[in-house]
Amino acid sequence: MPARPPPALPAYALYGEGAPGLPGAAAAVDALHCESIAARSRLHGWEIRPHRHEHLVQLLWLQRGTAEATLDGRVQALTGPALVTVPALAAHGFRFAPEVQGLVFTVQERHLQGLLATAPGLAAALLALRGWALQRAGGQAQAVAAAARALRDELQADAAHRAAALDAGLLRLLVAAARTLPQAREAAHAVPERALAHVRRFRALVEAQYRQQPALAALAAPLGITPTQLNRVCRQVLGRSALGVLHARLVLEAQRDLAYTAMSVKQIAIDLGFGDAAYFTRFFQRQTGCTPTAWRQRRGG
């Protein structure tokens, strides 16, 4: 009897809140999110079990205390001050000591890629799965701490030109983090396995074409694989089908439109390639557990 494949790691928006486009994924609508390490880990007994984020990048700043990070199966002990960077699709988990202090910044992958488009060296340094200690000498740890707190404070405020200030603050934090990287770890990590490469290319195709709701065969063909193989690699990496990935992207865009625009449900349905508003409403409710109108009302729209 062939060996049973290991279960797929869960894919979450924020830990415990579901994948983008699935119930509880409202937090994934925003480009940048910040919370203390304790805020979420306390709810789970100080343990964040291994999981992935399909569209999110995270930077964890461990100010003080200890943690055990599991990064793609490698266990690493960390003592603050320290940093961990987690690119989209990377498997990661943590076990924290209860006295831990620090912040977790979560950024939409697409938004971050746009910010780093003119700084490929910075992107290569930070869009890799790794954890490292910060040296107190030389002021680098202090620079990271100041940038992290400033970005947190800007997120919590409601000042003028907030979006520009957040992007500037995020870049400041990323530069400060990159400057602390040990030289021995500057080299890029190994090329992902073939399944992960297929999924990355598939997600890029979905991002470009989701409004047209293409058939899976049309998405699999440019990858040189069949729809069956595409489903297999999506389940291996993301824990759901290729169609589920496409549906999740449609729902995420619908949530953004509902939250941030005055478009009617009918207008949103047409814009996302649905034949009529009733069909879109049934689709949205099946995916999220509530109607588009109810979701907008819950968001305060």
Q: What residues contact 141, with CB distance under 8 A and at least 6 apart?
A: 81, 134, 135, 180
Rounded to an integer, what distance in angstroms lies between the CA atom of residue 14 and that of residue 24? 9
Give the per-residue pLDDT at 29.
55
Helix (H, G, I), strand (E, B) or coil at 231: helix
Strand ranges for the chain from DSSP E: 32-36, 47-51, 56-64, 66-71, 74-79, 82-86, 92-96, 101-108, 130-133
pTM: 0.70
Q: Do residues 22 and 287 touch, judged by C-beta distance below 8 A? A: yes
Residue type (1 letter), 142: Q
Rounded to an integer, what distance in angstroms lies between the CA atom of residue 69 and that of residue 77? 6
Q: What residues contact 277, with CB distance under 8 A and at least 6 apart?
A: 265, 266, 269
CB-CB neighbours of 234 under 10 Å: 24
Q: What residues contact 265, with CB distance under 8 A and at least 6 apart?
A: 277, 280, 281, 292, 293
Give the per-residue pLDDT at 19.
52
Which stretch of DSSP H or E encloses residue 174?
helix 162-178
- CA angle, residues 246, 250, 255, in degrees to nearest 5: 145
Burial class (CB in 10 A: 0-12, 13-18, 19+), 242: buried
Q: What residues contact 238, with CB distance under 8 A and at least 6 apart?
A: 8, 11, 19, 52, 54, 89, 199, 244, 245
**pLDDT tens, position by position, for the chain (301 residues)?**
444 444 556 666 665 565 544 444 444 456 899 999 999 999 999 999 988 888 899 999 999 999 999 988 789 999 999 999 999 888 899 999 999 999 999 999 888 988 887 777 788 788 888 999 998 877 889 999 999 999 999 999 988 998 899 999 999 999 999 999 875 344 334 334 688 788 889 989 999 999 999 999 999 999 999 999 999 988 877 777 999 989 988 988 898 888 878 999 999 999 999 999 999 999 999 988 889 999 888 876 5
Give the per-residue pLDDT at 123.
82
Give the per-residue pLDDT at 14.
67
Nearest to 29 by CA among 301, 245, 255: 255
Give the per-residue pLDDT at 255.
86
Helix (H, G, I), strand (E, B) or coil at 210: helix
